[in-house]
Amino acid sequence: MADRDADSSADDRSPSSGDAAATGILRAFVEAVPTPTLACDPDTLAVRAANAAAADLVGHDRGTLTLMGLPDLGETDAAVSGEPIADVGGAASAPGSPDSNGANAGVEWFEWDLRLGDPGLRVDAAVHTATIAGSEWLVVGLSDATARVAAEAERDEERRLVDALADTVPLVLFRCTEEGTLSRWNDRLAADSGYDPTSLSGRALTSLFDEATRDAVSDALSRVYRDGEAATCEARLLTRSGERLPYRLSIGPMTDGDRVVGAVGVGEDLTEASLREERLAVLTRVLRHNFRNDLNVVTGFTGQAIDAVDDPELVGQLERVVDTAERLLRLGETSRKVERLLSQRPSSRPIALAPAVDAALESVDPAVFDGAAVDVEVPDDLVVSAVAFLPEAVSELVDNAIRHNDGDEPRVRVSAAELPSESWVSLVVADDGPGIPPAERAVLTGEETPLDHASGLGLWYVNWIVTAGGGSLDIVESKAGGSRIELSLRVVDAPPIDEQELFTPGD
């Protein structure tokens, strides 16, 4: 770099211009710094020296840099904060208290977008004055902050997304430290508990629940921290006002490698659900009781009327009344079984298929079985994954196949075989009856409409039982002209449960 004109007077020469020797010392000083560094005239902010690292960072060769002023290096001449670069440099070069080495101790830190757009270039800059070769210079240290800023922006975006979700979902969301104390939560927890954020910060999660159920929360947390597995429990949230709210907590681990360093959880206020379930249970129980009793009265008096009249046409109409009442009674009984299935939320387990089918056939009403021919061909060695309600599904299918068959001797065949894949078993109930109406089949295809819907719960019940165990149900026409219902059940290689654990309609 050429120095200022040699014939300039000493009075006109800037203190930082120096002579050739001083300039060489300045350049040597800057070159010795391993990080991107510039040296500028404190009065004019003209760049007088730059090392190779600085040239690589800003994208100019050192010769070009020494022809520029510090504010000219970027596409904008202001820091990210909005302060002009010239003002930042002026603040750094202003007189201040010297440090132990005699240099001005003031350091100005700022962020600066040297290049806008994509890809951009943002730098962290530190500006301070230093005495080099007897003159004061403005030393500017630079470091690439682009990746850090992009990462911070991404984290900020993720944090905003998480906060928006946390404030949107109608559930309590929270995070606990390794000690089980609250470190973050959404507004729903503060609203439900009645505590302000200051009171919640650092509070043990267990302390939010009453003494009678606090141990359940503690046990769930212990499983999370000890085993690194998710845990669920129900407890009563004790609000600041002393109210107790039924709550369900689902808690999972936060890990750092193999170590659990915290927990995250979801809380659900069960007050409305509990009230709704209680009211529905009462309503269902009362309706079912009155439904059954009143229909029994209808069938009783109708039977007496049949015995008392001689008109064949009237007898036929009364018998139709009895058939309708009995069908409604069966509908009420099926609803009771559906209610039990839904309330118990059974999980799948290994079940020996042959004993399950035997239990199903034993539970069919003998009056229905009378006059029917039922063939069974189920290998003894098949073990499938299903819920313990499987016999009820088979019983429902066999009962319907016989009951809705108008033939003199209804024929039903129950058979099972392992499919070629060796991972599934096909359990088939086929009959020679009139087949299943299209409206009933629509239960499985989702094609039901308010004007054309299934009249009973039987297929719904069977489908729920099968799918609860991970299986599927399909309906086609049988070779005998009736219906063929196929249950696809997954094969398992495990000891089956005891037959006493199976549920049947007689339980």
> Is 366 or 481 the better-scoring residue by pLDDT?
366
Q: Which domain holds residue 200?
A: 169-269
- Identity of the amino acid at 226: R
Whole-number Å distance between alpha carbons of 273 and 269: 8
CATH of the domain at 209: 3.30.450.20
Please provide residue 46's backbone torsions phi and psi, each rounded to the nearest 5 degrees: -70, 140
257 and 132: one domain?
no
Q: Is residue 287 part of a domain?
A: yes
Q: What is the mean pLDDT of residues 390-418?
A: 88
Whole-number Å distance between alpha carbons of 346 and 339: 12
Q: Is residue 199 part of a domain?
A: yes
Q: Is a pLDDT exceeding 90 seen at residue 219?
A: yes
Q: Is residue 12 part of a domain?
A: no
> Is 196 or 326 the better-scoring residue by pLDDT?
196
Q: What is the pLDDT of residues 236-268, one digit of tens each?
A: 999 999 999 999 999 999 999 889 999 999 998
C-beta neighbour count of 438 within 10 angstroms: 11
Q: How confident is the model at residue 451 (pLDDT cuts 50, 70, 90)?
A: very low
Residue 428 pairs in a beta bridge with 415, 486
Q: For the packed helices 458-468 and 312-344, what is the interaxial angle rounded to 10 degrees?
A: 20
State the chain's mean pLDDT as an integer.
Answer: 83
Whole-number Å distance between alpha carbons of 464 and 382: 22
Output the pLDDT for position 113: 93
309 and 416: one domain?
no
Q: How confident is the model at residue 129 (pLDDT cuts 50, 70, 90)?
A: very high
Say if residue 152 is exposed, middle or buried (CB neighbours under 10 Å; 0-12, 13-18, 19+).
Answer: exposed
Q: How confident is the model at residue 339 (pLDDT cuts 50, 70, 90)?
A: low
Specify whether the CB–CB gap between 410 and 372 falls below 8 A. yes
Q: Is a pLDDT exceeding 70 seen at residue 326?
A: yes
Among 269, 298, 325, the domain boundary falls at 269
Q: What is the pLDDT of residues 130-179, one digit of tens each?
A: 999 889 999 999 999 999 999 998 998 888 887 787 777 888 999 999 99
Q: Is residue 487 part of a domain?
A: yes
Q: How confident is the model at residue 344 (pLDDT cuts 50, 70, 90)?
A: low
Cβ-based neighbours of 390, under 8 Å, separated by 6 or more: 351, 356, 360, 384, 465, 466, 469, 502
Output the pLDDT for position 19: 64
Helix, strand, coil distribution of the chain in percent, nearest 5: 40, 25, 30
261 and 289: one domain?
no
Q: What is the mean pLDDT of residues 88-97?
A: 72
Among 316, 343, 370, the domain boundary falls at 343
Q: Tell me the three state secondary structure of residue 484.
A: strand
359 and 216: one domain?
no
382 and 427: one domain?
yes
363 and 477: one domain?
yes
Max intra-chain CA distance, the chain: 142
45 and 144: one domain?
yes
Please provide residue 59's backbone torsions phi and psi, each rounded to the nearest 5 degrees: 85, 25
Q: What is the mean pLDDT of residues 427-439?
A: 82
Q: Is residue 365 part of a domain?
A: yes
Output the pLDDT for position 497: 75
33 and 134: one domain?
yes
Specify whether the CB–CB gap between 146 and 48 falls below 8 A. no
Q: Where are the alpha helices (DSSP H) in 194-270?
A: 197-200, 211-227
Tokens of 435: 């087949």
Range among 8-17, 91-100, 233-242, 497-506 rated most confident: 233-242
Tokens of 194: 């009645």
Q: Is residue 68 part of a domain?
A: yes
Residue 129 pairs in a beta bridge with 138
Q: Which of 385, 392, 389 is nearest to 351 (CA)?
A: 385
Q: What is the pLDDT of residues 169-181, one digit of tens each?
A: 888 999 999 999 9
360 and 256: one domain?
no
Q: Is residue 328 part of a domain?
A: yes
Specify whether the CB–CB gap between 337 and 461 falls below 8 A. yes
The secondary structure of residue 505, as a DSSP letter, is T
Say if residue 350 is preceded by a cis peptide, omega within 30 of 0.
no
Q: Is a pLDDT exceeding 70 seen at residue 352?
A: yes
Whole-number Å distance between alpha carbons of 253 and 501: 34
Q: Among 15-29, 81-95, 259-273, where is mean pLDDT lowest?
A: 15-29
pTM listed for this prediction: 0.47
351 and 339: one domain?
no
Tokens of 487: 């249950």
Tell me which residue has tokens 């009230």: 275
> Is 323 or 15 the better-scoring residue by pLDDT?
323
Among 269, 304, 335, the domain boundary falls at 269
Percentage of the chain beyond pLDDT 70 is: 82
Q: Is residue 15 part of a domain?
A: no
424 and 316: one domain?
no
219 and 241: one domain?
yes
- Identity of the amino acid at 91: A
Q: For the packed helices 438-445 and 458-468, what is the interaxial angle rounded to 10 degrees?
A: 30
Q: Is a pLDDT exceeding 50 seen at residue 491?
A: yes
Q: Is a pLDDT exceeding 90 seen at residue 29?
A: yes
Q: How confident is the model at residue 446 (pLDDT cuts 50, 70, 90)?
A: low
Output the pLDDT for position 290: 72
Output the pLDDT for position 236: 94
Name the strand (E) or helix (H) holding 339: helix 312-344
Q: Is a pLDDT exceeding 80 seen at residue 438?
A: no
- Domains: count for the chain: 4
